[in-house]
């Protein structure tokens, strides 16, 4: 990420915090008793110290601030409302208002969304942000909305996913031989991890910690901040190798059915708050990621760079070929993503 981009996102986060303070300190609380109220549920699957949750809470706060108490959003962390897949489905049906989860769990609602988790599709944080915030991201969100009935109101950041395990450090693809990794229930992610040379098993997120602790699986793939916040070092994780094979976006989605029933001014406040919380969450997540490596090491996890990233990238080319044929839109979007500027 360039210094220019980093400076902009930090300044924006500060502006959001300061603006929110002055608005809220005015008449927001006094006005809460007036007019109709809109109460919405917001669920996600991670802990309260994770950037997921901090972004969700900021979104809730901004909605209440800008609406002067007209909008209240109750955030339910730690899978209280179910798994990410279950929450996304409930949101699609309109029985839940808002859900936040990994973008790979949105792909079943519209298969071209798998483009976001194609291995090594993103070169850097800056490149990823330029994609989702620019014309490519806008067009993808519009098509996803039309196909699924789910409105993506924010794209949160969790960084690159790498491999953590209890057996050995991964320096070269051959080091993956014989290690069983838990992988999300997504065919692209399963095929990618197999292509790298590992054994894989699909498993729900809620089962991962105990599976690692009991030795049912040897490893997993998550961003470093999640590995730290979930305390996987207490479940036997001894190594974390920076393969950076997937980029981890998390999508905040809202039921389009619910959204369209809201008054226009409420829709505008939700949209504005979502956009501002997105920038705040990314800033928090970038700081969290920067500190996570050291945090893992303090808990005894050995963190290493891989010797030759190109050797890993070469192995997953068949995954690009397979899914470009299986889902023709994938190649179209991959080509667009590769032309977007960014380090």
Could you report the per-residue pLDDT of 127-162, keeping only the tens digit for each?
Answer: 999 999 999 999 999 999 999 999 999 999 999 999
Residue 35 confidence (pLDDT): 72
Domains of the chain by start residue, with CATH: 3-339 (3.40.190.170)
Q: H-type helices in 24-134, by residue range?
A: 29-31, 51-66, 84-93, 125-133
Going by the DSSP 8-state scheme, the letter that residue 202 receives in this structure is E
Residue 26 has pLDDT above 60, yes or no: no
Residue 343 confidence (pLDDT): 80
319, two tokens: 């995954």
Average pLDDT, the chain: 92
pLDDT tens, residue by residue, 249-288: 999 999 999 999 999 999 999 999 999 999 999 999 999 9
Residue 11 confidence (pLDDT): 54
Q: Are 249 and 157 in contact (CB under 8 A)?
A: yes
Residue 242 has pLDDT above 50, yes or no: yes
What's the mean pLDDT in 59-76? Answer: 98
């Amino acid at each position: 990420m360039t210094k220019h981009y980093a400076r902009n996102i930090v300044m924006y986060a500060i502006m959001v915090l300061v603006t929110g303070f002055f608005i809220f300190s005015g008449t927001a609380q006094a006005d809460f008793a007036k007019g109709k109220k809109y109460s919405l549920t917001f669920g996600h699957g991670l802990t309260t110290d994770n950037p997921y949750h901090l972004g969700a809470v900021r979104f809730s706060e901004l909605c209440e601030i800008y609406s002067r108490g007209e909008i209240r959003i109750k955030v339910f962390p730690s899978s209280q409302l179910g798994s990410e897949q279950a929450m996304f489905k409930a949101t699609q049906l309109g029985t839940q208002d808002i859900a936040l989860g990994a973008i790979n769990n949105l792909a079943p609602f519209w298969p071209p969304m798998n483009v976001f988790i194609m291995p090594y599709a993103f070169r850097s944080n800056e490149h990823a942000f330029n994609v989702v915030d620019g014309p490519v991201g806008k067009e993808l969100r519009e098509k996803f909305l039309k196909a699924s009935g789910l409105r993506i109101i924010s794209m949160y950041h969790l960084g690159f996913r790498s491999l953590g395990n209890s057996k050995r450090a991964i320096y070269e693809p051959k080091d993956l031989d014989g290690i069983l990794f838990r992988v999300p229930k997504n065919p692209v992610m399963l095929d990618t991890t197999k292509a790298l040379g590992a054994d894989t098993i699909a498993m729900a997120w809620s089962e991962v910690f105990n599976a690692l602790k009991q030795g049912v699986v040897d490893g997993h793939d998550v961003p470093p901040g999640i590995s730290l916040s979930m305390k996987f070092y207490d479940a036997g994780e001894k190594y974390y190798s920076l393969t950076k094979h997937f980029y981890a976006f998390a999508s905040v989605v809202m039921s389009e059915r619910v959204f369209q029933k809201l008054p226009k001014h409420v829709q505008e406040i939700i949209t504005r708050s979502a956009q501002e919380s997105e920038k705040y969450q990314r800033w928090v997540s970038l700081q969290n990621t920067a500190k996570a490596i050291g945090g893992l090491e303090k808990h005894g996890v050995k963190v290493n760079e891989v010797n030759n990233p190109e050797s890993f990238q070469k192995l997953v080319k068949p995954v690009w070929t397979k899914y470009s044929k299986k889902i023709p839109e994938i190649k179209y979007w991959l080509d667009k993503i590769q032309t977007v500027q960014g380090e």
